[in-house]
């Protein structure tokens, strides 16, 4: 793919609890070792020896014991946007208000292949959910995505191999309801291009969302294989043109822009720095 390069950031997930979670690090370490092999817990890090040198070791940060939740008014406003874009958990705000403690999982494996990063991160998260009961919400920080642990275990793992979480599908409508933009957020944490499609009411929103998630999973499996000038099959026999462009919705990043053709194209334009929940 020509154009700007994606600049990855650590993958991170906050787990929120109503009560101070009881964490037995030895039991958790054994559970992680069962899933991923040899591992140590050093300086708040799960450390996996990939080579002889210290720099070859993979690290995933796990903050424990849990911290009490304390948020500024600005952070509460930011969470409102996250809740708006997490439609499968419509009561997320209500659940969040009942949470008092949080723990954080964050990877320090940016140089590793994205599939390995995701695999290690997910296996540790699953071990935590199994051996640290009581989590009420998962907040995937970079994808601005919240969901209940139950949704993640029962839906995301079954339909997207757990990618729907670290990857979010966001939807923005213009005030008239004529135009819609759907984008993914989260692939950029893995050196991969997110996707966006700006379209009008002639296209079915659910079908566009399903296609973007399918393409996101395809990119995760096959790397940045969608090139400038490539076309994808549309819904009515048309071809959708792919180009690398700046994202319409914040955060600013290069994305694969999918143009559905003049008959179906949207005209929703939002400065990247100005996107907010009022557009939802």
Owning domain of residue 246: 168-279
Any idea what DSSP says for residue 188? G
**How high is the pLDDT of residue 105?**
97
Q: Does 7 reside within a domain?
A: no
Query: Do the domain assignments include residue 175?
Result: yes
224 plus 98 within the same structural domain? no
What DSSP character marks residue 152? I
Q: Is residue 3 part of a domain?
A: no
User: What is the pTM (predicted TM-score) of this model?
Assistant: 0.90
Question: Average pLDDT of the chain?
Answer: 90
Does position 4 have pLDDT exceeding 80, yes or no? Answer: no
The answer as to whether 5 is a domain residue is no
pLDDT in tens, 119-133: 999 999 999 999 999
| 226, 161 Cβ separation under 8 angstroms | no
- Beta carbons within 10 angstroms of residue 192's beta carbon: 22
Residue 18 DSSP code: S
CA torsion, points 21, 10, 139, 6, in degrees to nearest 10?
Answer: -170
Specify if 222 maps to a domain: yes
Q: Are residues 119 and 199 in the same domain?
A: no
Residue 170 pairs in a beta bridge with 183
What is the CA angle 149-155-160, rounded to 5? 115
The tally of domains found in the chain comes to 2
Q: How does pLDDT run across 150-177, given as a tens digit for each residue? A: 999 999 999 999 999 999 999 999 888 8
């Amino acid at each position: 793919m020509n154009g700007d390069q994606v600049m990855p950031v650590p993958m991170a997930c906050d787990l929120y609890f109503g009560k101070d979670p009881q964490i037995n690090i030895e039991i958790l370490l054994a559970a992680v070792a069962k899933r991923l092999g040899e591992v140590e817990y050093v300086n708040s890090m799960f450390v996996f020896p990939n080579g002889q040198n210290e720099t070859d070791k993979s690290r995933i940060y796990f903050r424990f014991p849990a911290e009490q939740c304390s948020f500024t008014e600005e952070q509460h406003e930011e969470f409102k946007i996250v809740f708006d874009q997490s439609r499968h958990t419509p009561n997320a705000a209500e659940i969040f208000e009942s949470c008092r403690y949080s723990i954080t999982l964050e990877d320090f494996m940016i140089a590793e292949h994205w599939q390995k990063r995701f695999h290690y991160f997910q296996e540790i998260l699953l071990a935590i959910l199994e051996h640290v009961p009581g989590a009420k919400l998962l907040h995937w920080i970079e994808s601005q995505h919240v969901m209940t642990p139950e949704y993640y275990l029962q839906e995301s793992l079954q339909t997207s191999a757990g990618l729907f979480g670290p990857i979010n599908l966001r939807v923005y409508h213009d005030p008239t309801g004529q135009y819609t933009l759907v984008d993914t957020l989260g692939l950029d944490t893995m050196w991969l291009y997110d996707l966006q499609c700006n379209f009008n009411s002639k296209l079915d929103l659910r079908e566009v969302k399903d296609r973007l998630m399918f393409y996101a999973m395809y990119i995760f499996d096959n790397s940045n294989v969608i090139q400038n000038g490539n076309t994808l099959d549309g819904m009515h026999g048309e071809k959708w043109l792919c180009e690398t462009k700046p994202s319409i919705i914040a955060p600013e990043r290069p994305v694969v822009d999918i143009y559905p053709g003049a008959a179906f194209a949207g005209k929703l334009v939002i400065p990247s720095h100005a996107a907010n929940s009022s557009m939802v």
